Amino acid sequence: MKIKEIIVVEGKDDTVTVKRAVEADTLETNGSAISPATIERIKLAQQKRGVIVFTDPDYPGERIRKIISDHVPNCKHAFLPKHQALHKRGKGVGVEHASIESIREALKEAQLMETEAAEQISKEDLVDAGLIGGSKAKERRESLGEKLKIGYTNGKQLHKRLLMFQITREQFRDALIEVLQEENQ
- 118 is a domain residue: no
Q: Does one domain contain both 47 and 74?
A: yes
Q: Does one domain contain both 22 and 85?
A: yes
Query: What's the pTM?
Result: 0.68
Q: In the listed set 88, 112, 136, which residue is the last one of a domain according to the structure? A: 112
Cβ atoms of residues 130 and 137 within 8 Å? yes
- The total domain count for the chain is 2
| First-to-last C-alpha distance (Å) of the chain | 37
Q: Does one domain contain both 12 and 87?
A: yes
- pLDDT of amino acid 51: 95
Q: In the listed set 112, 146, 169, which residue is the last one of a domain according to the structure? A: 112
- Where is mean pLDDT largest: 76-90, 107-121, 171-185? 171-185
- 117 is a domain residue: no
157: containing domain: 123-183
- pLDDT of amino acid 119: 60
- 152 is a domain residue: yes
Q: Does one domain contain both 38 and 107?
A: yes
